[in-house]
Amino acid sequence: MKRKPIRIDWDDVVGAFDNSNEELSYYLDLVNGHVVLEGEGEEGAFDDDDVNFTPGAAVKGKSRTGPDNTRANIERLTNDTKIEWVEEFLQVEPGLEPPFTAALRDALEQDDPTDAVAEVLAANPEAKDRWYRYRRERLQERIDSWLSEHQVVFVDPPPWR
């Protein structure tokens, strides 16, 4: 199906992909380009002046149980994916200090690696900056792939292109 180009708030799209709250679901409205939010606690998830986030309750007559060709589900970033990215970061990022890489590998072995990794990164600001740059690039690649998969046609390209 050929779609009309839509104007997208890229910050909203990045925020939706990056939010790991399992009680919230995000969709891109393929007609108006708005990010749609549904789920528990949606009312407090965003500021009132953020007009591009439309709570699902305000979208009358739309059932999430059947197919809807006017919305594309935005797949949240899972903790497993985040952990995979940390493991890849350790393999591909040049020049990381051995004590830092050892601490990060130990953190990945913890029961709750997400918190442990955050603690290790907090102790090394330079490596933390490198990690967030690497993570941002992986997230942008994921969004680009999703846009292509859903054949989203946009007016303005994402700012990272």
Q: Is residue 150 part of a domain?
A: no
Entry pTM: 0.79
Residues 124, 101, single domain; the answer is yes
- Is residue 129 located within the same domain as residue 109? yes
How do the pLDDT tens digits run along the chain, 161 residues long?
677 899 999 999 999 999 888 888 999 999 999 999 987 654 544 444 443 433 343 333 343 433 568 899 998 888 889 999 999 999 999 999 999 999 999 999 999 898 999 999 999 999 999 999 999 999 999 999 999 999 999 999 999 98
For the chain, give the percent of residues with pLDDT over 90: 65
Total number of domains in the chain: 2
The pair phi, psi for residue 28, each rounded to 5°, is -100, 125
Look up residue 47 and give its two tokens.
Answer: 């500021």
Which residues span the domain enclosing 53? 10-76
For residues 51 and 100, membership in a common domain is answered with no
Say whether both 15 and 71 belong to one domain: yes
Give the pLDDT confidence of 62-78 residue by residue, as tens digits.
434 335 688 999 988 88
- 84 and 68 part of one domain: no
In terms of domains, do 24 and 65 share one? yes
DSSP element (H, E) containing 76: none
Alpha-carbon dihedral of residues 114, 116, 117, 119, nearest 10 degrees? 120
